[in-house]
């Protein structure tokens, strides 16, 4: 295996997040229930109908091109790609052949520039449904759903610069993140909003120029499948090269159950699509002006954000990766951090870095847990950044215990209330007074004689248990550090 170097190029389709379809007014809805709801004579390819270009779709692809360092074409056009398939009502797909919207460019993956060949705009086809089952009724027909026919699709093609399954997986993940930052596409692979085809060949390790025979792998529905299929294929192809010295040029599918690729069709003769310019659509002009305007709308991209966060917040890289994996969460984090300044002043707290860390921790654990349990996202979070910042300083100043903090956060999340009100209303202020706590500790000690004996016999864990029982008895309000001190004195 080490005798061969894997050479991998990707072709990635992403469904664009537009209101309407590419060439008609039908709604572009992902995951709609019921077949053939969003259809019209245009996307059904009825004779005599005329397409019209969805400007937003063009803009989204230009944006993607700008974000990925491409050269935006001065002018571009649409072409017809002719082939027959039952999910393609017109008998051709409107795509772009020799004048795509964006050329060149690259995406940085772990410091390596993966070059892009091009990005173009086209329309999606419908979906065929093959009812399962052996009854003649089911086995003899397929169904077709045109909801997806004519949905705008961006196709990105890379140069064969990728050299492992891991690198290909990372590429797809980073592209997904960029498309989400730019609000170009939801790009969810499981939902088919982003579809990745892998082209892979092996070449002898000493060979630097000539490429080997490639195989194309389709139906990869997750990042994991991309990685696994490539790993499988590297092994399969190197075994072939070692034994029969030849790989067949073909399209293979990925069998998720068997975790194997399987032959779908041979590519010995290239299919002729008879491309020709789409006569019903004007060329795309004014792209220079358009891209000039759109360049102003490109936000800070994930890589730049991660690098800046490392510099500014000195958080662990994993925390930064998780924070920036969701632009909304990263933005919220920064709003909270900027509100922290006011509270630091009010409560004369010095160590800002510590509070920044605490903020990140609470966002990544407790808040994430709440959002998950409420099935909602950061954009629906009712807690104002100012309140969140105050909440963090309350934890730092030990005004609330960490268990009370959870209750406070929950209440803030559900009602948007500010933390000092919640604490007051629910009487959650942390109790640090020794007199008050001593009473509770005394009771707990009386009720847990066995643990007391264990502790005196040298079992350190017993003390932790008694602290826990005291916390419980105080309904989470006791300051655990003070409780521990009192216990140690009492049991000396
Ligand atoms: P096709 O005409 O078969 O679609 P293209 O030349 O358009 O092939 O390339 C499609 C994809 O395959 C691109 O991502 C490209 O980088 C990649 N590719 C081309 N040749 C090879 C090869 N020998 N090994 C691996 N990937 C390749
Ligand atoms: Mg191809
Ligand atoms: Zn339509």
Average confidence (pLDDT) over 106-118: 98
What pLDDT band is residue 429 in, cutting at 50, 70 and 90? Answer: confident
Contacts of 37 (CB under 8 A, 6+ apart): 147
Number of H helices, E strands in the chain: 17, 15
What pLDDT band is residue 346 in, cutting at 50, 70 and 90? Answer: confident
Q: Which of ligand 1's atoms lies nearest the C-alpha of 158?
A: 14
Average confidence (pLDDT) over 245-255: 94
Closest ligand to the CA of 38: 3
Q: Which of ligand 1's atoms lies nearest the C-alpha of 201?
A: 24
Report CA(40)–ligand 3 centroid distance (Å).
4
Closest ligand to the CA of 51: 3
For the stretch 21-42, pLDDT in tens is 999 999 999 888 899 999 999 9
Residue 199: is its pLDDT beyond 70? yes
Average confidence (pLDDT) over 476-480: 82
The CA distance from 38 to 127, in Å, is: 13
Report CA(222)–ligand 1 centroid distance (Å).
21
Q: Above pLDDT 70, what percent of the chain?
A: 98
Burial of residue 432, with CB atoms counted within 10 A of its CB: 0-12 exposed, 13-18 middle, 19 or more buried = middle
Residue 216: is its pLDDT beyond 60? yes
Residue 138: is its pLDDT beyond 70? no
For ligand 1, pick from 155, 199, 268 the residue to mutate: most ligand atoms within 8 Å of CB: 199
Residue 1: per-residue pLDDT = 46
Report CA(160)–ligand 1 centroid distance (Å).
7
Q: Above pLDDT 90, what percent of the chain?
A: 78
Pocket lined around ligand 1, Cβ cut-off 6 Å: 7-11, 157-160, 199-201, 211-212, 214
Residue 2: per-residue pLDDT = 60
| CATH of 434-490 among 1.10.10.350, 1.10.10.410, 1.10.260.40, 2.10.109.10 | 1.10.10.410
Average confidence (pLDDT) over 109-127: 97
What pLDDT band is residue 334 in, cutting at 50, 70 and 90? Answer: very high
Residue 137: is its pLDDT beyond 70? no
How many beta carbons lie within 10 A of that of residue 124, not counting itself? 24
* Residue with CA at minimum distance from ligand 1 atom 8: 199
Domain extent listing, the chain = 4-295, 302-426, 434-490
Residue 117: per-residue pLDDT = 98
Report CA(74)–ligand 3 centroid distance (Å).
29
The CA distance from 261 to 170, in Å, is: 21
Which residue has tokens 């027959």?
A: 84
For ligand 1, pick from 100, 116, 196, 214 the residue to mutate: most ligand atoms within 8 Å of CB: 214
Q: Mean pLDDT score of the chain, rounded to an integer?
A: 93
Please tell me whether residue 92 adopts helix, strand or coil conformation.
Answer: strand
Structure tokens at 77: 């056009």
Residue 419: is its pLDDT beyond 80? yes
Q: Which of ligand 1's atoms lies nearest the C-alpha of 199?
A: 26
Report CA(209)–ligand 2 centroid distance (Å).
21
The CA distance from 277 to 185, in Å, is: 27
Residue 205: per-residue pLDDT = 87
């Amino acid at each position: 295996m080490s005798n061969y170097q894997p050479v991998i190029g990707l072709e990635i389709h992403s469904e664009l997040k537009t209101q309407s379809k590419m060439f008609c007014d039908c709604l572009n809805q992902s995951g709609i229930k019921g077949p053939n709801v969003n259809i019209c004579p245009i996307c059904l390819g009825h004779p005599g109908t005329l397409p019209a270009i969805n400007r937003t779709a063009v803009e989204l692809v230009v944006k993607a091109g700008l974000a990925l360092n491409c050269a935006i074409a001065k002018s571009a056009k649409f072409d017809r790609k002719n082939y027959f398939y039952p999910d393609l009502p017109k008998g051709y797909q409107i795509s772009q052949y020799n004048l795509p919207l964006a050329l060149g460019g690259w995406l940085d993956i772990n410091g390596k520039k993966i070059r892009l060949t091009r990005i173009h705009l086209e329309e999606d086809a419908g979906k065929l449904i093959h009812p399962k089952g052996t009854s003649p009724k089911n086995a003899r027909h397929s169904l077709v759903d045109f909801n997806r026919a004519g949905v705008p699709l961006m196709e990105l093609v890379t140069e064969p610069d990728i050299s492992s399954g891991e690198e290909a997986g990372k590429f797809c993940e980073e592209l997904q993140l960029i498309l989400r930052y730019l609000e170009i596409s939801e790009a969810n692979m499981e939902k088919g909003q982003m579809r990745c085809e892998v082209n892979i060949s092996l070449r002898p390790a000493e060979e630097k120029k000539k490429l080997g025979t490639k195989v194309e792998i389709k139906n990869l529905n997750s990042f994991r499948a991309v990685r696994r299929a490539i790993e499988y294929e590297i092994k399969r192809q190197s075994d072939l090269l070692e034994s029969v010295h030849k790989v067949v040029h073909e399209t293979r599918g990925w069998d998720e159950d068997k975790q194997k690729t399987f032959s779908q069709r041979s590519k010995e003769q290239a299919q002729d699509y008879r491309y020709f310019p789409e006569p019903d659509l004007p060329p795309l002009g004014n792209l220079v002006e358009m891209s000039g305007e759109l360049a102003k709308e490109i936000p800070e991209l994930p890589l730049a954000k991660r690098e800046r966060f490392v510099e500014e917040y000195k958080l662990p890289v994993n925390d930064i990766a998780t924070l920036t994996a969701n632009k909304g969460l990263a933005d919220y984090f920064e709003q909270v951090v900027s509100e922290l300044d006011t509270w630091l002043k009010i409560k004369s707290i010095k160590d800002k870095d510590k509070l920044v860390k605490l903020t990140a921790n609470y966002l990544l654990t407790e808040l994430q847990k709440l959002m998950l349990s409420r099935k909602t996202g950061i954009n629906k979070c009712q807690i104002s950044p100012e309140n969140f910042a105050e909440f963090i300083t309350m934890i730092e100043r030990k005004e609330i215990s960490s268990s009370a903090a959870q209750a406070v956060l929950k209440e803030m999340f559900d009602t948007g209330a500010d933390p000092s009100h919640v604490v007051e209303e629910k009487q959650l202020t942390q109790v640090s007074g020794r007199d008050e706590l001593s009473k509770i500790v005394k009771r707990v000690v009386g009720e847990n004689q066995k643990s007391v004996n264990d502790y005196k016999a040298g079992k350190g864990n017993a003390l932790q248990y008694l602290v826990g029982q005291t916390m419980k008895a105080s309904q989470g309000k006791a300051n655990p550090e003070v409780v521990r001190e009192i216990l140690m004195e009492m049991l000396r």
